């Protein structure tokens, strides 16, 4: 584990720096051409986010027995916790199970659905995506059940409307390379929708996100995120942000909802999990990188935090492996 001797570069925007680390992994994208009346019953997908971009027409989204949300053309609805929900041409429409509806599979990550009656046409571009980075998982935990962007400020964000129109055009024609363009643009829209929520939602001023905005605790969090392998202690983190040990500990726990030591351990283990699954780093190397004296000690800490052993974590399916199972209905 690296020592604390080398100073970190200045941290001026801990929240921005943390968001910069986010990378979406797309499992499946679908272009839907739906003619009224129609309804889709979308099952819960654990550990995934689902989004719907309304490129033409309009529809409703209903989560459980909650009031349906109107989705006009040009809107984006993000279901960040993978909860089951319904998409409906109107609130009285009957819905069918999503996986019972036939689709045209263009590739293992892209498909086209045509469904409904003989009425008005609604076109959607939908996706199943995830944040594998631990920062993304922390962020998702604070997001609402449904994040709806239906009023893009075109005076300040005209590129957003242009992007929606571009997705719609590519989805209609699907020229060579269109699938790649759609998936990348959709990822950008999802991240931009989250950024818009961060700027306006009162909930974004609480918990972990508020801690990142804090002048001192935010710097400590960003330092941990940048270099989780360093030999951080409560004392060294407090010195890094110019606070006393007791003052730092109290404020960190108040804002983050956890002690600095516990947060550091959880962050390291989540970073280790990502490396085990996606980078296939050996357990011995991870143990050494994270400062454990033995694989056994590292494995005990890993299981205590994540609930599974490192070997079992390594066998968890990656995003690429999940994608075919989602489209095999």
Q: What is the pTM of this model?
A: 0.76
Spatial distance between the Cα atoms of 160 and 171, rounded to a whole number of angstroms: 16
318 pLDDT tier (thresholds 50, 70, 90): low
Decide if pLDDT at 312 tops 80: yes
pLDDT of residue 311: 87
- The architecture CATH gives domain 207-314: Orthogonal Bundle (1.10)
pLDDT of residue 217: 94
How confident is the model over 97-114, as pLDDT tens digits?
999 999 998 777 778 899
* pLDDT, the chain, mean: 82
Spatial distance between the Cα atoms of 265 and 267, rounded to a whole number of angstroms: 5
For domain 21-203, give the fold.
Jelly Rolls (2.60.120)
Q: Where in the chain is the domain with CATH 2.60.120.280?
A: 21-203
Question: Is the model more confident about 62 or about 5?
Answer: 62
6 pLDDT tier (thresholds 50, 70, 90): very low
Decide if pLDDT at 319 tops 70: no
Taking the CB of residue 65, how many other CB atoms lie within 10 A of it? 5
Taking the CB of residue 280, how many other CB atoms lie within 10 A of it? 8
Percent share of the chain, pLDDT over 70 = 82
End-to-end CA distance of the chain: 46
**DSSP tag of 10:** P
Q: How far is CA 324 from CA 110, 132, 182, in A?
A: 10, 18, 18
pLDDT of residue 21: 66
Helix, strand and coil content of the chain, in percent to the nearest 5, comes to: 45, 20, 35
When pLDDT is averaged across residues 115-125 and rounded to a whole number, the result is: 94
Q: Where in the chain is the domain with CATH 1.10.10.60?
A: 207-314
């Amino acid at each position: 584990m690296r020592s604390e001797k080398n100073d970190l570069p200045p941290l001026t925007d801990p929240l921005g720096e943390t968001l910069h680390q986010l990378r979406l992994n797309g499992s499946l994208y679908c272009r839907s051409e739906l003619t009224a009346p129609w309804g889709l019953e979308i099952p819960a997908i654990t550990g995934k986010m689902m989004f719907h971009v309304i490129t033409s027409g309009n529809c409703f989204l209903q989560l459980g027995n909650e009031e349906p949300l109107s989705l006009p053309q040009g809107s984006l609805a993000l279901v960040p916790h993978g909860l089951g929900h319904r998409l409906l041409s109107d609130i009285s429409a009957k819905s069918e199970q999503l996986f019972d509806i036939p689709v045209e599979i263009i590739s293992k990550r892209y498909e086209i659905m045509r469904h409904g009656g003989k009425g008005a046409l609604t076109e959607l571009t939908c996706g199943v995506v995830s944040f594998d980075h631990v920062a993304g998982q922390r962020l998702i935990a604070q997001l609402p059940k449904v994040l709806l962007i239906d009023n893009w400020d075109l005076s300040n964000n005209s590129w957003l409307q242009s992007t929606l129109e571009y997705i719609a055009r590519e989805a209609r024609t699907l020229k060579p390379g269109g699938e790649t363009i759609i998936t990348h643009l959709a990822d950008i829209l999802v991240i931009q929708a989250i950024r818009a929520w961060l700027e306006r939602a009162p909930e974004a001023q609480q918990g972990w996100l508020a801690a990142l905005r804090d002048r001192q605790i935010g710097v400590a969090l960003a330092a941990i995120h940048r270099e989780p392998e360093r030999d951080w202690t409560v004392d060294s983190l407090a010195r890094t942000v110019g606070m006393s040990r007791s003052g730092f500990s109290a404020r960190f726990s108040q804002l983050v909802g956890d002690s600095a030591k516990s947060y550091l351990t959880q962050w390291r283990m989540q970073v280790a999990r990502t490396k085990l699954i996606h980078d296939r780093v050996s357990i011995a190397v991870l143990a050494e990188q994270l400062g454990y004296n033995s694989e056994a000690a590292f494995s005990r800490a890993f299981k205590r935090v994540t609930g599974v052993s490192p070997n079992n974590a390594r066998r968890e399916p990656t995003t690429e492996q999940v994608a075919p199972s989602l489209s095999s209905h």
